[in-house]
Structure 1
C-alpha cells in the first residue's frame, strides 16, 4: 500500500518546518502545489522530500486541490494542509488501517488547537483520506468539499485518527482580517447561491467569531431553514442554541435546543442548553437529572467535541452541586471537566 499526501500551500515555510517531519516519515510521497509563495516554502518542502509543483492562484481552492491530485501516484490520498499536524502514533494507525481497509474513504477527527499542541477541545469530522483513481474530486471555490463521480459529498467511516489544525494561531489583528476575508468570500458565494445552507453556516461561524452576533444568528437560522443534509442542520442548530443562550435569549435557545432533540434524541449539546436554562431559572433538580442523563449517553471513540460532550456536562453538574451546597461533589465534577479541557476550566 502506497500513501500520497497532497497539499496546497502559499508562504508556509515556518509551518512546514513543524508539520512535515512527522508526515514525511509515514507517507510514501508528498505532493505540494505552491499557489504563489514569495518565501522559501518550496525549498523547505523539498528538504523533506516533497515533490513541488506550481499552480497560478485563480481564487478557487478546489481547483488547486484537484491540481494536486493529478500528480499523486499512491493507492490512497491523504489531503492535508501545511498547518495541520499529525502525531507519529496517529500516522501509524492510519497506515495500519489503510492496509486492511475495505472502504474507499475514511473520516478523521480534526481539532482546532493552539500552535504546537494537540488539544482536543473543538473538533469536527471530515473525510481526509480516500482511494486514488476512483473519480473523487473537490468542489466549491472556498471551504471545498470532496465528492464522488456523481457529485455526492463523501461521508466516510470514522477511524481513530486525529489531526490538529494550528491555523487559528495568528496575532489578533491578522486573525480579524483573515475572518473578514472569509466573510466577504462567503457573501460572494451566497450572492450566486442564496439558499446554500453550507455557506450560510460557514458565514455564521465567522460572524460569530467576529462578535457580530445578530448577523450570525440570522445566518444560522437560514442554514437550518435551507439545509437538506441532516449533518448541516444539526450543527447549525447546535450553534444557534448555544448563541441564543450566550445572548441570554432563553426562550429562543430552548426552541432551538428542542428542534435539535427532535432531530437527534441523544444530542448532548441540546441537554447542556436546557440544563443551563434550568440552572439560571432555579430548577436545579431538573438540570441535574438532565446532566446525569447526558453523561450516561455513550459517545464514540472519535467524539469530536469533548468540550460539549464531556467537559460542559461535568462543569454544569458541578455548578448544580454548588448551588445545592454539595461542595465535595461540585469539586469532583469541576475536576473531571478540568481534566478534559484544562484551558477552559483553569479557575476551578
Structure 2
C-alpha cells in the first residue's frame, strides 16, 4: 500500500490534538508536527502519539512553516492537515488504498472539507474541496504567506481530481467565541493588507480581503476590493459564484432589500444560467407574494444542465438539486396542493436531508391519508 506522511503546523493545540491525532497516528506511516511557539502541552501531546516534533519560530508566514513540516517527510504521498481537522480512521484507510490507484502523472488530490462544530461530523453545512494530498519528492512546495497553496516547481497552483471517499471535518471556526473569531479575522486582515502592498494586482489577496472584511461587516471595503478585482482582471471561473454572492449581499446590507431585489433581477437577466441568483430571486418573489413568477424562475433552474466538476472549481450543487425543488414545494404548499408539494419536497430530500422538511412531508402524508 502507498505510504503516507501526515504533516501539520500547530500552536497551543494540546486539547484539539487529543481528539484529532489518535485516528491519524493509527493509519499514517509518518506523522510530522511543526510547533510554532506553543506555551501549553502541545509538544508533549504530539510526541505521545508518535509524532516527529520540530520547533519553528513563527515569521508571519504560513507557507514557510508548512514547507518546514514537509521538508523531511519520507513517504510517497503527503497529507497536510491542521490540528482542528478531523478525519475518520476508516476514511483514512480508504484514502490510503485509493492512492494506489491514482495514475503516476497525477500529483495532487482534492478531498471535501466540512465546517462543523467541535466534535461533530456534520455533512449538511458549508463545505468545499481543496488539494490536501500531493506526491512527495516532485519539487512541490507551499507558497503565499496566508491562504497558502501547493505549487509546482514552475510556480503553478497544483490541481487534482476530487475524491469524496474521505472527508475532513474542520472544527476550527464553527461555534468558537466571537472574541476568538474576531481576533483570527483581524490577524488575517493585517497579514493580507501587508502582503498586498508588495502584490497590488494579486486577485487572490484582494478576494481574501473582501471575504474577511465581509465577516467584519465592513461592507464598503468589500465592495471596494470586488470593484478593484473587476477593474483589473477577468474573474476566474472558480470565484464567479462567491464573488457575486458577496457583492449582492453587500448591496443588501448597505442599500436595503429593494436594492438587493433589483440587483437580483438585473443579474438574472444578464446571466439566466446563474442558479444561485435565480433561486434567490425566486425566493424573494415568493416573499412578495408573486408566486407565479417565483414558480417560473424555480422551474427554469431545473432546465439548466448541472455543470461538471472541474479541478479547482466547486459546483454549487445545492442551487441546482435542492433549492429549486424546495421552493416549488413551498409554492404548492401555499396553493394547498399537498400531492405536488410532497413530490417536490421529496425531490429536495433526495439531495439533502433536512429534519424540518421531512417532518412537513410526514404532516402532508398524514393529511392526505385522512382525505
For this structure pair, what is the TM-score category when the shorter chain's length is used for normalisation? 0.7 to 0.9
Correspondence 1:157 to 2:158: no
Aligned twin of 2:363? none
Offset, 1:188: 2.1
Aligned twin of 2:95? 94
* Cα pair distance change 1:347/1:180, threshold 3 Å: farther
SS of the residue corresponding to residue 118 of structure 1 reads coil
Aligned twin of 1:175? 181
Offset, 1:115: 1.3
Aligned twin of 1:251? 262
* Cα pair distance change 1:301/1:141, threshold 3 Å: closer
* Cα pair distance change 1:309/1:36, threshold 3 Å: farther
SS of the residue corresponding to residue 146 of structure 1 reads strand
What stretches of structure 1 move > 6 A for 4+ residues in a row? 299-304, 343-348
SS of the residue corresponding to residue 4 of structure 1 reads strand
Deviations 1:2-53 (A, max 9, x none): 1011111100011111111111122111111100111111111111111100
Say whether the 8 Å CA contact 1:315–1:334 is kept in structure 2.
yes
Aligned counterpart for 1:318 among listed residues 320, 323, 329: 329
The CA distance in 2 between the partners of 1:172 and 1:20, in whole Å, is 26
Aligned twin of 2:138? 134
Offset, 1:344: 9.1
Deviations 1:53-100 (A, max 9, x none): 011000000000011110110100011111111123321331121011
SS of the residue corresponding to residue 56 of structure 1 reads coil
TM-score, normalization by structure 1: 0.86
The CA distance in 2 between the partners of 1:260 and 1:252, in whole Å, is 12
181-190 or 274-283: which moved more? Answer: 274-283
Say whether the 8 Å CA contact 2:12–2:38 is kept in structure 1.
yes
Say whether the 8 Å CA contact 1:5–1:30 is kept in structure 2.
yes
The CA distance in 2 between the partners of 1:344 and 1:162, in whole Å, is 25
Say whether the 8 Å CA contact 1:224–1:232 is kept in structure 2.
no
The CA distance in 2 between the partners of 1:313 and 1:245, in whole Å, is 22
* Number of matched pairs: 344
Aligned twin of 1:219? 225
TM-score, normalization by structure 2: 0.81
Q: Which runs of 5+ in 1 are unaligned?
A: none
Correspondence 1:208 to 2:214: yes
The CA distance in 1 between the partners of 2:23 and 2:309, in whole Å, is 23
Say whether the 8 Å CA contact 1:238–1:260 is kept in structure 2.
no
* Cα pair distance change 1:93/1:190, threshold 3 Å: same
* Cα pair distance change 1:41/1:204, threshold 3 Å: same
| Aligned CA-pair RMSD | 3.0
Q: Which runs of 5+ in 2 are unaligned?
A: 361-371
* Cα pair distance change 1:49/1:238, threshold 3 Å: same
